[in-house]
Chain A
Amino acid sequence: MSEAARPPRRRPRSPLQSVTVDLSELRYLVLPSAWRDWAGLTPELISCILHGLDPVQIMLGADKVCRSWRRAVREEPELWRRIRMRRHKALLDRSLVDLDQMAIDAVERSQGQCQEFRGEGAGLHDDTSAASPTKAFEVVAKECPRLKHLINRHIGSLPLSCYGRGRKCIADGEAMAIAKMHELRSLQLIHNGLTNQGLVAILDKCLRLESLCISDCCNIRMTRKMKAKIKTKKLRLVDYIYMDDEEREETEHGSPNSECHTCLLYFGRDNEERYVKRYVNDTEAMVILTVRELRSLKLYRNDLTSKGLAAILEKCTHLESVDVWNCVNIVMNKALRQAKSGWIKAKKLTTKLLTDYFNDKIFNPEGLDIYLCRKIILNNCRGVFKDNAHGSKFDQIILRKKTRNYHRKTNKMKAKIERYMADRQHVGNVDYMEFDGVKFDSYRMYSPMEDHYREFNPKKYHHSYRYNCWKLDHVKFEHGYGYNYYGKLDEKVKPGSPIIECSTCLMFEYFAERWGVLDLDDYADYYDPSYGLDAHDETDFGMHDRMVGKRLRRNVFVERG
């Protein structure tokens, strides 16, 4: 940097002395304080610092550092005013903590000061957790008399009584516990098994309730009686909208826009990691049929076939709009169009098949010259289309034939490749890498899962990837297990399985390449696998893969080929 570019307030130095190092680049360096007594800060300052952390982070880290910090944590109920258990699901997934128990602990520490409780799966995850869901809520109700905002989101699967064999709902125990929180101002119960009975109890007891969000509560029937009740309470009904994992609130006066709000979101939403119906097949289409009151239906990227769709259109007479996007098995043939033309005219059917989205990622098996690649994985390869299938070049019937045959084609291709692989004995040497449907070569593969991995886009690193630099020692995996993208044990990888089955290993390989250029110890203090990912890190996949790589390095033996 030149002298002129420095801020003017600095005292001018001779050019020889001026060495500019941007300190922000070194911000993760550990620079231990020489004499500053961080433990000796006044409790006010410590708690001021800890205000920047949420309770979970405090409980995991700062709380255990030293006595004075612990005291500061204990003596400052303000810190626990807003307990948010959200965004810590990673901890639960890795079985590091029991979030329910943790939530109870946090609530107890707040000494009644807690005014906002945001739980995600907290207190309700599943049967394996130690605390029963109702208990967690009862503790919250008991310990937080001043609780004003309660947000809770189930992440677990729910007993959905609106389709399938309706099981008796257990969530009303929670509702009864919530009904004890008389100071409650706003309540969000998302994806909850609440029933009408429970809701009535809450409405009757929580007199100060001002806003209410019950989206995804599948067991609530918006009867006229219920609507009237909500109206007399002058409640603001809030609709929850998911946008790229960031939730936004949108106020809407009135009721949820359909009789069975949940079904729509349940089938439609796709940005959750689990528990979401991603593939609806025809059997499930029959289940949808039983929901006679369905008003609108959104189906994204699933296995529904034309037959199932036709059945839905026929049976669900209340349907006003249907969105079927990227359902590769649905072919809008003439039969479907003609049979339903009256319906489609009167109502709204949105189809986006083979949109630009598809056009972007097309796998062309006919053009695949397997003798050029030494390894191909065909996981999740659901859509196999001719490269130029999009647009008007093919008519619908040819397209339908192609879709109909794609499973057969991919299976054939797979068998062929496997045979070839066995012949050439190239197992262990990767020339070609494909990560869950994302290609690394000139061949295009499409996978419905790919969007799921969009943060992890190896295409970005394509140019720098050297295929055959690394060898992985398969035997050195601990128990033959690998870790998948989320850092969880991938149980599919059994000991002794050939490498062709193990896409995880390929991922390892990808990391192995990265390790060559990056010294992970630089980041060692920034990330600790035993803690889990911070929400911010998760958005930065570059950081994440380095860290996963660090974690993997313990389990994998890597050597240069």
Chain B
Amino acid sequence: MEVDKGKGEAEETRKVAEADRDTVTLKSSDGKLFEVSKEAAARLSTVLAGMIAGGSIDDNGTDLKQIGSEALENVVDYCNKHANSIPSAALISSSISFNTAPFKEPEEWERKFVDRLSHDALFDLVEAANFLGMERLLDVTCHKISEMMKGKSPDQIREVFNIKNDYTKEELEEIRQELAWAFYDD
């Protein structure tokens, strides 16, 4: 599956696509066009599936105003990878028993897929996945983010994600008293 960033190339492929009607064209907030297989899109994203079924797919590019081009490129990459792989239904379903994790561990390529992303791209991808209702992608990206938080103190998490500490001193003291199980050194 070919993904083209350039507009001119995208138009060429769209002509081919229109012939067999096998793909959908997605348009990012800054106007870039992306092609993705209709079957994969419908299977992976509940929102896109609804749009395809409801006929609200625009051949000139379905507008996804909430998603920037970089994030959409990642989404499309992901769809394309999954288009060639076995259906992920088995991956999503998880039964609660003793030894199953809350969700299945990411596969190797999924891990690599999210590993190469920067924090910002990850953030965008999470929002995009959430917006498009892509459950599996959301799981994978969230897993990656939660891994970044593992073993870190609140201060370090704030630093990594550039979050401001919006607690007042009194609130912090309150939290500290509430969490009586933690023995502080000082």
Contacts and interface: CB of A to CB of B under 8 A. Distances in A.
Contacts of B164: 39, 66
A82 interface: yes
Contact of B160 (A32, A59, A536): A32
Interface stretch (B24-32, B54-62, B84-92, B149-157): B149-157
B2 interface: yes
Nearest to B156: A525
A76 B91 CA distance: 24
Given A49-B142, A52-B147, A116-B96, A66 B156 contact: no
A85 to B, nearest CB: 11
A531 B152 contact: yes
Interface residues of A, number: 62
Q: Enumerate the 6 nearest inter-chain pairs by beta-carbon distance, A residue then B residue, closest first.
A: A52-B146, A101-B181, A38-B161, A64-B154, A102-B181, A534-B151
A60 B142 CA distance: 19
Contact of B167 (A48, A66, A116): A66
Contacts of A60: 153, 182
B112 interface: yes
Nearest to B80: A9
Nearest to B161: A38
Interface string B101-119: 0110000000010011111
Contact of B102 (A51, A96, A97, A530): A51
A95 interface: yes
A50 B5 CA distance: 34
Contacts, number: 160
Contacts of A95: 183
A65 B175 CA distance: 11
B185 interface: yes
A149 B98 contact: yes
Interface string A531-545: 111101100000000
B37 interface: no
A66 B166 contact: yes
A32 B162 contact: yes
Nearest to A31: B119
Interface in B128-186: 130, 138-139, 142-143, 145-147, 149-154, 156-167, 175, 179-183, 185
Given A149-B98, A531-B152, A525 B182 contact: no
A53 B2 CA distance: 36
Nearest to A64: B154
Interface string A520-561: 000001111011111011000000000000000000000000
Contact of B153 (A44, A101, A528, A534): A528
Contacts of A96: 182-183
Nearest to B1: A9
A97 B2 CA distance: 53
A24 B162 contact: no
A517 interface: no
B166 A67 contact: yes
Contacts of A9: 2-3, 77
A13 interface: no
Contacts of B126: 41, 45, 49
B151 A537 contact: yes
15 contacts: A9-B77, A27-B115, A38-B162, A61-B149, A61-B151, A61-B157, A62-B149, A64-B175, A65-B161, A65-B163, A101-B180, A525-B152, A525-B160, A528-B152, A534-B150
Interface residues of B, number: 55
Nearest to A103: B181
A45 B142 CA distance: 8
A534 B147 CA distance: 11
B35 to A, nearest CB: 11
A65 B77 CA distance: 33
B96 A115 contact: yes
Nearest to B152: A61
Contact of A98 (B163, B181, B185): B181
B152 A530 contact: no
Contacts of B123: 33, 36, 38
A527 B151 contact: yes
A249 B99 contact: yes
Contacts of B180: 98, 101, 105
B82 to A, nearest CB: 15
B154 A99 contact: no
Interface string B35-63: 00000000000000000000000000000
A65 B164 CA distance: 8
A461 B142 CA distance: 37
A23 B152 contact: no
B183 A97 contact: yes
Given A44-B130, A530-B185, A532-B151, 18 more contacts: A23-B115, A36-B120, A39-B161, A45-B130, A45-B142, A49-B149, A51-B103, A51-B142, A57-B151, A64-B154, A67-B167, A115-B96, A186-B98, A525-B159, A527-B151, A528-B151, A531-B153, A533-B151
Question: Which of A11, A32, A63 counts the most chain B CB atoms within 10 A?
Answer: A32
